Structure 1
Amino acid sequence: MSGSGFANSFWSGDYAGGLGVLFGKLQQGVKENEQVLTIARMRAEAEELYGSRLGEIGGATDKIVGGFQRDDGASVRKAYEGVRSEMEEAAKNHRKIGSNIRELVVNPFTRWCEAHAQRVQSSQDALQAQVKTHDRQHDQVRKLRSAYYNKCRQVEDLEEEDKLAFQDPNSEAAQSPKNKPVVPVPTIKVPMEDEEEPIDIGDETYSPEQVRKILLHMLEHVKIGETKVPILGTYPNTSSGADITDYIQKHMNASSVSYAERIGQDMITHGFLRLVGNVGTTFANSSRMNYQWRPKVFKVTGLPEKRGKPLERVMSSGSDGSIDSPVGIVGDYLAGWNPLNNPHPNETPAQRLRREAREADERYKTAIKKLDGIRCTLEEDMIVHLKFMERCELDRLRAIKAVIVDFSGAISNVIPSLQSQVDNMMLFQETVQPGSDLRYFLENYRTGQYVPKAVTYENYYNSVDEQTFGVDLEARARSDRKRVPTIVTTILTFLDNHYPDLDGDEARRSIWLADVPLAATHRLRALINTGKPIPHEVLEKFEVPIVASVLKLYLLELPGQYTTPIHSSNG
């Protein structure tokens, strides 16, 4: 990406910093528009008021009886009437000036300013929402990475314990730490089991104290009773799904039933509710589905838990008058029932830890891929919005220049005697240089050029076999068993093969300088970001400038490339 426009000037490591500087300046421009508009509006009001007061002079003199009305031919009367007519003409001219300013400046520029402010606000809101989504996924990746590393560390600890368990306690190996390869991993705090952490409910994150207050309020306002279930008996402390959904919509800002059901599902996940009388753990807005408040809720809130009666045996009479055995009925009902719902009932602790480590690795890897997709989309949309905002800002500066011209014309067309003022205003508008102002904007407020900061999947055992972009250069080359990463040599070889098809050195240089859409570059990046050799047929599907652009993007995404600081608002 080349050039010094908005699209290559307002980037920062966290995206939000550079955008904050840009939109701070653009919102300043919105206020500048209001200041120019205020000048025009108040000048129109002043001209209209001045014309109105001048028009009152003739009527005031007519109220004086016995003056010039009695002296028809006197020269002094002619002078008086001339002065009076000049006053009346001046009143008309000033009213005309006020009318012209409103029609030529105030009304059209008001509509333009409102549309411009809406364009700036819409772009700001759209990009802020995408940055928030990116940051939320980034936090999720960090949590999953921490969980994955912790599981791997637990597996290592268990394996070490197993090795020491069968050694002679008096042996030298058991008494001294075992030398083993050190895997450089970042230090991650392992949370204590009894340490309370914030939890996510819906789209919000609540502290333990906030959760306690919410649960207290729910127990006070949600209808709680008992639910009788055939065979199994009576469950205390239950509420219907409809009552819980109604409470969530009224008190937890749930804008829709589906969002309220998602909050209810999160409460089941966190162990606050459980479904009774049905199989599964689904939360639904239904008066027929009942949910029991778990003991964890009463422990958190400190409220006493209502205990239910022991489950009653239910017996039925057969057609021959005999009574069915309750043990048989319950046995038939519970046949095949797995109360713990455990898909791995015969696992040893070591097998469980290894399985959980693999599952944590997959979740972390999936989240990284999702984050990479969100980041690429964010960067594509940022470039589109930044280019659009550059055009909007240039249009704004040109609009102010045109307003000054129209403002001076509204006056000069009516009163030639104000030509000196008009000349001064024309001189002022000549000093407005939109291109120069835009360069000043960039030189003093740019925060950094476009350098994407890829977040890569970090394998616990330092394997880089599944990705290419964002991986340390030496690690990538070592994995490829080459002095230079395979992606670099493959793309350069591809370009060498296509150089003969281009007409002259200028055409060959132009493929490196072409302004390739970032979306096209990202499409090719997604196909070759596998950590594997690049098939020749994949590159052949894309134009030569796109292939060159993806090599530049690979170099930009190498770790440690982003060093440009965020400038203050004063440059």
Structure 2
Amino acid sequence: MLKYENSFWDNPGPGHLPRYERGPQRLYEKLTQGTNELDELLRFFRDRMSLEEHYAAELRQLSERQLNFEGFGKDEGATMKTAYRGMLSECLALSEAHSNVAMEIQSSLVAPLRRFTHEHRARIVASWKVVDQAIRQASGELVQVERNHRVYTQKAALAEQLRLQEGADSMQPAAERMEFEVKSRASMVTPSDHPLSASSQPASSDRSVEADADADVELQRQLLSGASSARSTKAMLPDVHGSLDVASIVLGNVALTRHEFHVMLQRMQVEVPQHDVRFGILGTFKGLISGESLAGWWCANYPTIVRSEDDAVLVGQSLLDQGYVRFMGRGSQFQSRANAYYQWKRPALEFQSDDENDDDDEPLSERRGHLSQAQSYERARREADEASSIYRDSVQRAEVVRTALEEQLTNYLDTMEAWELNRLMSIKSMLKDYAQISKQPVTAELAISERLDVYEESVKPEQDIQWGIENYGTGRYLPRPVLFRPYGLSVAEFQIFGVPLEEQLLVSHKDAPLFVAKTLSLIRKSSQSMAPEDRYRIWTSRVLLHKIHELRNVVNRSARVTLRQLRTFDVPVVARALVLYLLELPQPLCPEELHGPLRALYSSRSEKSSSDMLKSVAGLLAGMSYAHLKTMQELFKVICGSMADDEDEKRRIGFVHEIGRRLGPVVMRGREAGMGGGRIPELLVVDLIEHYADTLGAVEAERPCKPVPRPATKLPDDVSLHNLTIEAAAAAEAAEAHKPTSSVLPVPRHSRSSGDMAREQQSQRTAATAISGSASPEAAATEDSQTSKRDN
């Protein structure tokens, strides 16, 4: 059965950022229509009370009333509309009813419905204001992520450019070479770096850990850049803008940097029309601007942020509260009226930007860097590190806001469904009361009352809920996570959710991606001693979204996941987290190129035998990539194993169809998160479970590459990055020279072949040996073994 919580989500669309505006807005329009229906029904009862006093003539006129297009006239196919039409048609037969029915209608219907309508509308409007504000806040955080990512990329490119220039021009020692740092995630900090253990260690140990981390980052940067690309990278790096300038001034729902605010003030003082206005005995004031002109200027110049007059009023109120304009009248509220005048105050006229390198007439997005040749690399590296930290913090903050918003939206959708169901049930109850009141007249009205009973019984609130979802729903729940995309590194090294299966397979020592293997292993081990119905509840029980997000936030801090982490959560939470993991994949588990053939195959299912059908399905699944195929095989193998010893055929069949209904839209997730899709995804999942041996079990695939061993993440304690010699740097460059030189820029990790990855790991070990001067092959082998144990 469809639910509001999984039906009013916005299509993520292109890009990396999620969207949330359209679904809640569409639901709010539907709920507003419901209040209009209540108003329409309330007007009907009032009119009916009046018509009872005027007998047949007025009742006949009421029966001819047209349906309101904003109310019942919009619900074609809803049972409530059918009952309402029947109720109108019976008004003609009630023309001979007694006038005392009017008092019953007033006391039993009009007064309760009026009170319920007022409370219902107030609840809906108040809830929508809270949700709309949260959506706006989340949108602002996501926009800030894009801005910080752009600035971070520019700063990183500038640092790289200066490093190459200095290396080509001055040939300074390696200890003085410029470095660029990509900081590790918080969850990847070793126990010695953890804040809880810092108090028990001396200060020298802390400095040694920080030096080791810096040395490791420099080593990775040297290996990724390479001497072979130093000559041509300089010409291909993009131009870099000025220093990082984050939003420091907030006007309503608009966040601006000081330079943007400076440019905005200059434009407003020139472009907003000014007037000379006389104020009685005070005389004439020159250079005044009207609230209407100021609000119109904001709407015209910032249409994507200031989308309505209310948003412009909020911006104007912020200007007024922060002392940039003065209201020439009484009160402290900003008014967007033509006769409300404002005067620029001294802070607005004398406001200066902190950015001394930027032109005042040049917008932030077009500012160019003016770093002289004499500037050192240390400053560029420091700015790149600051930009990286700000970008990462904004990503983490945006993820917190996004997950909190999804939890809030889930609660909001559940609450709205309950309120909508309550509204329909209240209408149903009032229709029943109306039918009882109509039975009070003389015996001639008994036939009318019986027909009204039929109308009342024909109202199906649950059916109307389903109809409303099918006609007004905007899409299924399809989260789009915000990923940390490091400069020159693979996303799979920093997080799990939202990363393609192929990239996760490269860093997994299992046959399947590590998170899939670990979660299914925990489910399989935990369910061995359970009864069949308890095993079924692992996959079918409902779990709150915030509990799933708790598990997600624990394991999504790095590329590693262990059974120890997963055992702290209930098994149903782990199962639902696996489903969320599959939903957040950039590509569905069953690739989109197979959706068309599978739909065509199941559409002609009656024309083929069962064995031919299953062979065709197995043949299509054999065309999937190894990562997707292995993930699907492991998933359905565990599900089939949970039904192995269940002798209750009816219960087993019910579980299979329930799993098909739940996992079908996840496995065959389309590009558009619409409400359609039919039953083909459900039928596919049912066949994969009931005929696992003939479908997925009959497909064999060989892993295209072996897992990439993790490089040493730490240098010896007695070796510092600043102690590198020219010979050590030359050894690292010699190791890097074994790689192909067809590209002048580092190849992203997820796009390299297994051979390139292996050669890169060997180069990293060679460079680490040259740097330390004392590392032996036996020590490197021991460290690889320890890394493998930690992954397990």
Rate the CA distance shift 1:182–1:409 in 2: closer, same or farther, 3 A: farther
- Residue 120 of structure 1 and its aligned partner are, at CA, apart by 2.2
The correspondence for 2:381, drawn from 313, 335, 354, is 354
Residue deviations 1:63-91 (CA, integer Å, cap 9, x gap) = xxxxxxxxxxxxxxxxxxxxxxxxxxx99
Which TM-score applies when normalising by structure 1? Answer: 0.63
1:194-233 correspondence runs (5 A): 200-203=249-252, 204=254, 210-212=264-266
> 1:130 is aligned with what amino acid?
A
The correspondence for 1:48, drawn from 46, 53, 56, is 53
Rate the CA distance shift 1:563–1:359 in 2: closer, same or farther, 3 A: farther
Give the Cα separation in 2 of the matches to 1:363 and 1:469: 22
* Preserved CA contact (<8 Å) 1:516 1:545: yes
SS state at 1:500 partner: coil
Give the Cα separation in 2 of the matches to 1:560 and 1:416: 68
- Residue 402 of structure 1 and its aligned partner are, at CA, apart by 1.9
The correspondence for 2:351, drawn from 259, 263, 272, is 272
* 2:146 matched residue in structure 1: 142
1:29-68 correspondence runs (5 A): 29-49=34-54
- What's the C-alpha RMSD, in Å, of the aligned pairs? 4.4
- Residue 28 of structure 1 and its aligned partner are, at CA, apart by 1.2
* 1:441 matched residue in structure 2: 468
Rate the CA distance shift 1:198–1:363 in 2: closer, same or farther, 3 A: closer
- Residue 518 of structure 1 and its aligned partner are, at CA, apart by 0.6
Give the Cα separation in 2 of the matches to 1:271 and 1:524: 52
1:469 equivalent in alignment to 2:467: no
Which TM-score applies when normalising by structure 2? Answer: 0.47
Rate the CA distance shift 1:381–1:254 in 2: closer, same or farther, 3 A: farther
Rate the CA distance shift 1:25–1:180 in 2: closer, same or farther, 3 A: same
* 1:522 matched residue in structure 2: 549
- Residue 481 of structure 1 and its aligned partner are, at CA, apart by 5.4
1:343-492 correspondence runs (5 A): 348-464=375-491, 465-480=493-508, 483-492=511-520
Identity %: 25
Rate the CA distance shift 1:542–1:248 in 2: closer, same or farther, 3 A: farther
Question: Stretches of 4+ moved more than 6 A in 1?
Answer: 90-93, 181-184, 187-193, 206-209, 216-221, 253-256
- Residue 523 of structure 1 and its aligned partner are, at CA, apart by 1.1
Runs of 5+ in structure 2 lacking a partner? Answer: 13-18, 59-93, 172-226, 275-285, 289-319, 335-346, 362-373, 589-668, 676-792
Rate the CA distance shift 1:183–1:452 in 2: closer, same or farther, 3 A: farther
The correspondence for 2:20, drawn from 15, 27, 35, is 15
Rate the CA distance shift 1:42–1:24 in 2: closer, same or farther, 3 A: same
> 1:121 is aligned with what amino acid?
V
* Preserved CA contact (<8 Å) 1:368 1:457: yes
Residue deviations 1:356-403 (CA, integer Å, cap 9, x gap) = 111111111011111111111111121112112112222222222222
Give the Cα separation in 2 of the matches to 1:190 and 1:392: 55
* Preserved CA contact (<8 Å) 1:130 1:378: yes
Give the Cα separation in 2 of the matches to 1:133 and 1:188: 34
* Preserved CA contact (<8 Å) 1:449 1:564: no
* Preserved CA contact (<8 Å) 1:134 1:374: yes
* Preserved CA contact (<8 Å) 1:183 1:461: no
Residue deviations 1:10-67 (CA, integer Å, cap 9, x gap) = 222222222222222221111111111111111112223559x9xxxxxxxxxxxxxx
Q: How many residues align?
A: 419
Q: Greater shift after overlay, 419-428 or 538-547?
A: 419-428
* Preserved CA contact (<8 Å) 2:55 2:97: no
1:133 equivalent in alignment to 2:137: yes
Give the Cα separation in 1 of the matches to 2:321 and 2:435: 66
SS state at 1:22 partner: helix
Rate the CA distance shift 1:210–1:47 in 2: closer, same or farther, 3 A: farther
Rate the CA distance shift 1:519–1:250 in 2: closer, same or farther, 3 A: farther
* 1:496 matched residue in structure 2: 524
> 1:136 is aligned with what amino acid?
G
> 2:134 is aligned with what amino acid?
Q
SS state at 1:501 partner: coil
The correspondence for 1:98, drawn from 91, 98, 102, is 102
Rate the CA distance shift 1:499–1:427 in 2: closer, same or farther, 3 A: closer
1:144-223 correspondence runs (5 A): 144-165=148-169, 180=229, 200-203=249-252, 204=254, 210-212=264-266
Give the Cα separation in 2 of the matches to 1:548 and 1:372: 22
SS state at 1:413 partner: coil
Structure having the higher Rg: 1
SS state at 1:447 partner: coil
Runs of 5+ in structure 1 lacking a partner? Answer: 54-89, 168-177, 222-242, 257-266, 275-280, 282-293, 301-346
Rate the CA distance shift 1:166–1:123 in 2: closer, same or farther, 3 A: same
SS state at 2:528 partner: helix
- Residue 248 of structure 1 and its aligned partner are, at CA, apart by 5.4
- Residue 126 of structure 1 and its aligned partner are, at CA, apart by 2.1
* Preserved CA contact (<8 Å) 1:17 1:566: no
